[in-house]
Structure 1
């Protein structure tokens, strides 16, 4: 069932931006009716800077005549606006656990992606296993999604753009082959790998993540350094 918002929604986004992907995934996963507007971050349109967001950031969400910015805020707005989508656990303790899990992911695993792609520090990639070891205790009952949910919840949507891009990086020529092999075959990492695979196969990610465009971005970014 398509969810019709009380006011029209327009998402100003960029395909290769993982931060913007958060809100795009939430809208898609919840099957919300919205308009998508692609913004070229290398050549931001004058009308966007003048009429929508002078800061030039994506995502920017237009709700009726109101504008909402910052990816965590816009994504949580979608979860709050459409409670029937079930993006927020109803149990307060489970909600707190999920938020802690997302925080730990951004603290432990996200820096590996950031350093590898934005600083071209490819030597950091093999250290991912130690960080996954620290993270997994916070990954409560991922069967297939956090807390036994049958669909991704908000906390997972906030981090899956980085998971999908991290796996793309690990499968690329920039990463030692043995890293992806170990992650995908070692029983020790099965919980993390299965959970990540379920997230990447979910409709919100599968319908929004363009591997070819993001691979091109990696090539431009890493080679440029």
Structure 2
């Protein structure tokens, strides 16, 4: 019998990426919630290098890092393709998810959590990165075309998590007038029935970030994986 387990954290956009990928493929799995302040022996065993979630365990073999896990899911199980079939388009999808995680997300976090002149500098950097996404999504329903794909799953933090933080800290980055294409995509994405069913509760996430606003700087961030 095939055994699939997912070690994750309820509010993590990285964990949610993987959960959505599993559900897109129709994979049955056991979900194990991790307390990231008191990491389980299982997490430390399966991800001893980074000690972070998510971790997928397939027949006893662990795979770490959310984007690597999603590619593994796409290759192993039948069902709707998450990555494009065309080699060039697959390469481009990998490029954009790397851009999202390594450029967009850090810049947006800094813009939200910094203050004064530093915040304005970080906002400008984040906006410059977002302009590339605005251009990339133009004329498309999703980054994956007509269906949700790898880049959409990777960009989930823009559509949901960062909108909530934006309201809490009073910093607007993605507005309808400045980023009409990206705003339209975000609305389309979070309002699709599949995505809506797999997002964490807004009130719970809002409470989580309210606590982070009052916390020391080093505790403000979701563990990246």
> TM-score of the superposition, structure 2-length normalised?
0.79
Q: Does 1:93 align with 2:88?
A: yes
Q: Deviations over 1:156-176 (max 9, x none)?
A: 212323542111212x23124
* Unaligned segments of structure 2, at least 5 residues: 217-225
Q: How does 1:99-178 map to 2 (within 5 A)?
A: 99-116=94-111, 120-122=113-115, 123-124=119-120, 126-127=123-124, 128-139=126-137, 141-142=139-140, 144-149=141-146, 151-170=147-166, 172-176=167-171
* Unaligned segments of structure 1, at least 5 residues: 1-5
> Following TM superposition, by how much is the alpha carbon of 1:54 offset from its aligned partner in structure 2, in angstroms?
4.1
Tell whether the 8 Å contact from 1:140 to 1:146 is kept in structure 2 after alignment.
no
Give the distance between the partners of 2:194 and 2:6, measured in 1 at CA: 15
Q: Are residues 168 and 105 of structure 1, via their aligned partners in 2, closer, same or farther at CA, if it must alter by over 3 Å?
A: same
Q: Are residues 173 and 146 of structure 1, via their aligned partners in 2, closer, same or farther at CA, if it must alter by over 3 Å?
A: closer
- RMSD (CA atoms): 2.6
> Following TM superposition, by how much is the alpha carbon of 1:11 offset from its aligned partner in structure 2, in angstroms?
0.6
Report the count of equivalent residues. 209
Partner of 1:195: 185
> Following TM superposition, by how much is the alpha carbon of 1:47 offset from its aligned partner in structure 2, in angstroms?
4.9
- Which of 12, 34, 58 in structure 2 is aligned with 1:17? 12
> Following TM superposition, by how much is the alpha carbon of 1:140 offset from its aligned partner in structure 2, in angstroms?
5.9
Tell whether the 8 Å contact from 2:56 to 2:69 is kept in structure 1 after alignment.
yes
> TM-score of the superposition, structure 1-length normalised?
0.79
Give the distance between the partners of 1:203 and 1:27, measured in 2 at CA: 16
> Following TM superposition, by how much is the alpha carbon of 1:107 offset from its aligned partner in structure 2, in angstroms?
4.3
